[in-house]
Amino acid sequence: MIEKYEKILTKIEKILKVELQKYKQWQPIKKYNPTVVNKNTNKFENEKIYLDTGSLSDINNYSNDLAIFNCNNKPSRASLLPETKSVYFAKLKNTNKYLLINNNKDILNNYILSSGFLGIKESDDFPLSLIFSILISRDFIINKDNNCQGTTMAALTLENFYKINVKYLTKQERKNFDNKYKCFVFLFETISLKIKKLNNIKTNLLNKYF
């Protein structure tokens, strides 16, 4: 069952990447006026599960065994509160990791993210389906790595993020794209959660009987 779901996710990725390539115009991503998630905080109620870039692989594939902190003992990098309808990617060079959040209540209510992520939130000018498609595209990955700065831990700055050239869609093209593919984004998150639950069941059974 898990393999079947994983194949569906791979197919969704492929479709979105192929569809994006059909557009010919290029512009810096700043042209979309992206809404950067800046909900940084050092204070929060109760405890939060800390998700850093090292605990995430590929897209929405994160460990079930994560550290839990309160605002008094958390790492300094645990400062980014997740938001609905947003996509987060690891800023480190040669690190292709993504967190897609449509309306994942567990993530939204119980997690805090590392400042090693850069998050883009849906807006009227930049729908979630297009944000996701652009950020996972090969062109973005290459341009992101080419714009990273630093010697030992090269990473993408916000200033350089705005400079990255991406496929540019007109407002009408964006609307058409979103009408066609927003269901894919919803499905991607739904299936990712199913995989996570199945992996939890699998791990619990293995721990119980072996």
What is the DSSP code (8-state) at residue 165? E
Query: Does any domain span residue 9?
Result: yes
For residue 208, is it within any domain? no
19 neighbors 179 (Cβ within 8 angstroms): no
CA within 13 Å, CB half, 69 = 21
Q: What is the pLDDT of residue 205?
A: 74
* Nearest of 125, 135, 133, 209 to residue 174 by alpha carbon: 125
Provide, rounded to the nearest whole percent, the portion of the chain with pLDDT above 90. Answer: 82
Query: Confidence band (pLDDT; 50, 70, 90) for 122?
Result: very high
Residue 41 placed within a domain: yes
User: Would residue 100 count as lying in a domain?
Assistant: yes
What is the per-residue pLDDT for 192? 96
Residue 210 lies in a domain: no
Q: Give mean pLDDT, residues 22-28.
A: 98
pLDDT tens-digit profile of 39-84?
777 778 789 999 999 999 999 999 888 999 998 889 999 999 999 9
Q: What is the structure's pLDDT at 44?
A: 83
| Model pLDDT, residue 151 | 85
User: Distance between CA atoms of 21 and 17, rounded to whole angstroms?
Assistant: 6
What is the pLDDT, as a whole number, of residue 120?
A: 98
* Number of separate domains in the chain: 1
- Within-domain flag for 197: yes
Mean pLDDT of the chain: 94
Mean pLDDT for the stretch of residues 81-93: 97
What is the span of the domain harbouring residue 52? 2-201
CATH number of residue 182's parent domain: 3.90.220.20
If you average pLDDT over residues 19-41, what whole number do you get?
94
Helices 128-135 and 2-21: crossing angle in degrees, nearest 10, is 90
pLDDT of residue 133: 99
Give me the amino acid identity at 149: Q
Q: What is the pLDDT of residue 204?
A: 73
